[in-house]
Amino acid sequence: MRIIEGQGVTKYFGGLAAVSKVDFYVDQGEIVGLIGPNGAGKTTLFNLISAALPFKSGEIRFKGQLLNGLKPHKICKMGLARTFQETRIFADMPVFQNVLVGASFGTPSRISSADAAREAAQELEFVGLSAMSAIPAKDLTLVDQKRVEVARALATKPELLLLDELMAGLNPTEIGETMELVTKLRDRGITIFMVEHVMRAIMGICERIMVLHHGEKIAEGTPQEIASDKTVVEIYLGE
Amino acid sequence: MQITTFISTHRKLLIGGFLLVILILLATLPFYGPDIGVRENIIFKIATILMYAVLAVSWAMFSGVIGYMSLAPAAFFGLGIYITAMLWGEVPLVVVYLAVMICCFALAMLIGLVTLRLKGIYFAIFTFGLVFLISYLFLYYELNVLHQPGHTNNNPISTQTLYFIMLGLAVAALFTAYFLRRSRLGLAMRSIGGNEAAAAHMGIDTTMVKVLTFAITTLFMGVAGATYGAAMSFIDPATAFSLDYSFKPILMAIFGGMGALYGPVIGAIVFPILEFQLSSDFPLYFPIIFGVILVLTVLYLPGGVAVPIQRLGTKLWTRLTAKGGEAEQYANN
Amino acid sequence: MLEAEAIPGIIVNGLLRGAIFALVALGLNLQYGVGKVFNIAYGEFLMVGALVTFMLYTSAAGIDPLVSMIITGSITFLIGFGLYRTMFTSLRNRLPPAAFEGSSLLAAFGLIYIFQNIALLISGDIPSKKIIYLNYSREFLGVRIPINQLVAFGIAIAIGVAFYIFVNRSRLGKAIRAAAQDPATAGLMGINIKLVLALCFGFGALLAGVAGSLVSTYASVSEVMGLGYTVTAIIVMVLGGLGSVPGSFVGGFILGIVSTILVRLELSSLLVPIYYGIFLILLIARPTGILGKR
């Protein structure tokens, strides 16, 4: 079943099309990758899906419901969560409270503070950060801050999780650990749609990959198909 | 040392008790002291301090947490004064308060819904001009509808009444600020202040949270104004509306520090006292000093004096507890 | 009520006033659009210009206001440049953009009180500060035009045109536009961003000072005149669009005409409410905001 699909999604910034007539879909339970050179429109597409940016052309449906015109908080409550390229944690708040925000407000119906606290503790445990609960988020290392973002998004009980360059800035060990984390997420039943530059991660965990270039989708397929696709190799070598 | 362990385990109780003692002292202040004339003067000054505390605390509740710079206190404070000018004498004070609260809330909701869903600068622009906007509207009303300059208050409330109401308001404002921090709404506010886009993506309706919080804070400002207005003998738009009533509370909150509950209170004590001392002999100097202090605080001490105070407190505490630990070790050997 | 014969007079007087409004909007545009400081103390620079012109005119030297324009422009430029180079740059280096906007606003708030009260200390005991300069009118096509206002209008237009040409044709102008749109990239391309931003803020202050000199030729000067002009500058900047020189003039003229009409109808107390009403309507009509980049 398609958990999310988009048709003809287009976004202009001034005269430039950042995303141009993109069709995409993700099936439930999949891990799908979104790659492309810098400026290809990947994060923009994510911003359109999560309603961080508005768009007028095209349609995006999540679990059959039209996302056009909805605000981010409504979309979150529908079960779609995301992390951000620039790691948007609540810097001055302790790690626990960061995740508590997701737990408290991300569910469609109101949740008691005791339940929210329990949920937050669980997700912190899942990403392995329970020991850091009381530390202000800004004092954490980059890889741990990204885990906080993941835990926070998880606390909103998503069915689809958008990961925006989760591996950026991590060293090889950290990349390996994060790859394991993503697989664990899928094993929990969460569908993953991820933007990545780190090829090892994309090839290693994605079942299907979409390639964007200058805002247009130019290729789609399994990792092997994409790796051997001439156009894709060209645009990456030409970079 | 037994004393320090006692203090740390019963910290909240001790702080609460200390505050209660201060409250009782303040509440009984009007009943003892030197002769009536001097007493009245002092009571009025403290009432003024309490009034600024209400304004500074309620300003910090919104702008300090959510990060949107509001220049609105003067507008809502003045609105409270002016509505009181129109209604006091005709209706009981409670009804005046009700009218003020309804008007402030409605106006705040309107402004909030239009400007708070956009970037912070629009909100700042609008709240900056709001005090002029409202005062000019009332000026027009006086010139062309009432044909009468200003309102005279034939039944001003006594200084004592002013004092007690302001005390109650200040306590209410502090309580609200305290519980807001711990509440769900407070968590939402702090996450908006931390990163608004991320907060929206966590399921928080950021516009509604901003608007509601803003509207709640204006209630305090309006009621403070209404009380002050009920004590004034003559009110017209020029006396009711002044940018000073935005400048001073903001200065107090910034100087005292918005990260702590007591920060704005410190400012509300320091600056009125400074003004009382300087205003008779140097009426033009103290605004300059205030302006300079605001600029210096913004530049060099953005967290206010609460930051060094807190650091000092932690240092002292660690010294005390460390010493106590050492003494215990020696005692047990 | 308004008679039909009065309309040309209203339009002309509106345009005369509007040119000054445009000038101040231009200055604020520079300070906020490029320097990213929402300077609510902007009108105080105008007040400084007006006050200095008044004092120079009434001093023993009796300096012509149009000459002291050069002096006041230089003074306000230096003050603005200096403030930006020290205070605002320090804030800008330390804080992310959103926090910078808030903090610089607060600092400007403090400046209002500093400027106004220093001015009061200097000249507060002088009750009426009015310059008598070119204080006669001529009739052009049936409309009485005060010559001092006409001169002010001419100078304001000249400055506006010169500025427009400067921003669009000169190298420094290009650097300014680049700095306004994307300071980081502009810096990487070799533009001395710190200098350009401070210069812009200084220019903005200069425009305010010059406007103050012009205003003093036909209106009375007071130490508290600044806030009104700040409000006007804000509204015109919002109306005309951020970063647009022609927009500032169109907005200025519209507001000039509106204010002239209101004064004629003896509704001058409704000026500010109507300005803000316009602002509100614009915000509701264009929910994405009006201060978008061009």
Nearest chain A Cα to B259, which residue? A92
Which chains have 3+ CB pairs within 8 A of C? Answer: B
Q: Do A92 and B194 touch (CB under 8 A)?
A: yes
In A114-133, the residues whose Cβ lies within 8 Å of chain B are: none
What is the domain extent for residue A49?
A: 2-237
pLDDT digits (tens, 9 = 90+) for A79-97: 999 999 988 999 989 999 9
Q: Which stretch of B254-268, C38-52, C177-191, C197-211 has the lowest confidence by average pLDDT?
A: C177-191
The C-alpha angle with vertex B55 and arms to B50 and B60, in degrees rounded to 5, equals: 120
- Of the candidates C231, C220, C219, the one whose C-alpha atom is nearest the C-alpha of residue C44 is C231
Min CA distance, B298 vs chain C (Å)? Answer: 6
Break chain B into its structural domains and give their ranges.
Answer: 39-302
CB contacts < 8 A (A, B): 67
Q: Do B204 and A105 touch (CB under 8 A)?
A: yes
The DSSP symbol for B88 reads B
pLDDT digits (tens, 9 = 90+) for B104-150: 999 999 999 988 887 788 898 889 989 999 999 999 888 888 888 88
Asked if the C-beta of B182 comes within 8 angstroms of chain A's C-beta atoms, the answer is no
In B185-214, the residues whose Cβ lies within 8 Å of chain A are: 187-188, 190-191, 194-195, 197-206
- Of the residues C88, C117, C237, the best mutation for testing chain B's interface (the one with the most B CB atoms within 10 Å of its CB) is C117
pLDDT digits (tens, 9 = 90+) for C30-44: 999 888 899 999 999
Average pLDDT over chain B reads: 89
Task: Count structural domains, chain A.
Answer: 1
Asked if the C-beta of B147 comes within 8 angstroms of chain A's C-beta atoms, the answer is no
Q: Which stretch of A15-19, B56-60, B225-229 has the lowest confidence by average pLDDT?
A: A15-19
pLDDT(C290) > 70: no
pLDDT digits (tens, 9 = 90+) for C58-101: 888 888 888 899 999 999 999 999 999 999 999 998 888 888 99
Q: How confident is the model at residue B211 (pLDDT cuts 50, 70, 90)?
A: very high
pTM, full prediction = 0.90
Asked if the C-beta of C265 comes within 8 angstroms of chain B's C-beta atoms, the answer is no
Nearest chain A Cα to B183, which residue? A113
Which of B102 and C141 is assigned the larger pLDDT? B102
Q: How confident is the model at residue C289 (pLDDT cuts 50, 70, 90)?
A: very low
Q: Do B195 and A90 touch (CB under 8 A)?
A: yes
Going by their DSSP bridges, the two strands B151-152 and B234-235 should be labelled as: antiparallel
Q: Do B187 and A100 touch (CB under 8 A)?
A: yes
- Of the candidates C36, C29, C40, the one whose C-alpha atom is nearest the C-alpha of residue C107 is C40
Average pLDDT over chain A reads: 91
Q: Report the 3 state secondary structure along chain C.
A: CCCCCHHHHHHHHHHHHHHHHHHHHHHHHHHHHHCCCCCCCHHHHHHHHHHHHHHHHHCCCCCCHHHHHHHHHHHHHHHHHHHHHHHHHHHHHHCCHHHHHHHHHHHHHHHHHHHHHHHHHHHCCCCCCCCCCCCCEEEECCEEEEHHHHHHHHHHHHHHHHHHHHHHHCHHHHHHHHHHHCHHHHHHCCCCHHHHHHHHHHHHHHHHHHHHHHHHCCCCCCCCCHHHHHHHHHHHHHHHCCCCHHHHHHHHHHHHHHHHHHHHCCCHHHHHHHHHHHHHHHHHHCCCCCCCCC
Q: Would you say the ipTM is above 0.95?
A: no
Q: What is the pLDDT of residue C286?
A: 65
Q: Which stretch of B30-34, B69-73, B255-259, B325-329 has the lowest confidence by average pLDDT?
A: B325-329
pLDDT(B166) > 90: yes
Q: What is the pLDDT of residue C190?
A: 74
Q: Tell me the torsion sign for CA atoms C3, C8, C11, C14.
A: negative
d(C-alpha B188, C-alpha B203), whole Å:
10
CATH number of B39-302: 1.10.3470
Min CA distance, B122 vs chain C (Å)? Answer: 8
- Which residues does chain A have within 8 Å of residue B197's beta carbon, measured at their own beta carbons? 52, 72, 84, 88
Break chain C into its structural domains and give their ranges.
Answer: 29-232
- Of the residues B191, B202, B207, B210, the best mutation for testing chain A's interface (the one with the most A CB atoms within 10 Å of its CB) is B202
Asked if the C-beta of C271 comes within 8 angstroms of chain B's C-beta atoms, the answer is yes
- Of the residues C272, C274, C284, C291, the best mutation for testing chain B's interface (the one with the most B CB atoms within 10 Å of its CB) is C272
Nearest chain B Cα to C110, which residue? B291
- Which residues does chain B have within 8 Å of residue A50's beta carbon, measured at their own beta carbons? 201
Q: Tell me the torsion sign for CA atoms C237, C241, C247, C250.
A: negative
Min CA distance, B18 vs chain A (Å)? Answer: 28
Q: How confident is the model at residue A15 (pLDDT cuts 50, 70, 90)?
A: confident
Q: What is the pLDDT of residue A161?
A: 96
Judge contact between A188 and A31, C-beta under 8 A: no
What region, left, alpha or beta, does residue A41 occupy, with left being phi > 0 and alpha being psi -120 to 50 degrees? left
d(C-alpha A144, C-alpha C235), whole Å:
46
Which of C110 and C180 is assigned the larger pLDDT? C110
Which of B101 and B15 is assigned the larger pLDDT? B101
Q: What is the CATH number of the domain that holds A148?
A: 3.40.50.300
In C198-257, the residues whose Cβ lies within 8 Å of chain B are: 227, 231, 234, 238
Q: What is the average per-residue pLDDT within A150-175? A: 93
CB contacts < 8 A (B, C): 126
Going by their DSSP bridges, the two strands A2-13 and A57-62 should be labelled as: antiparallel
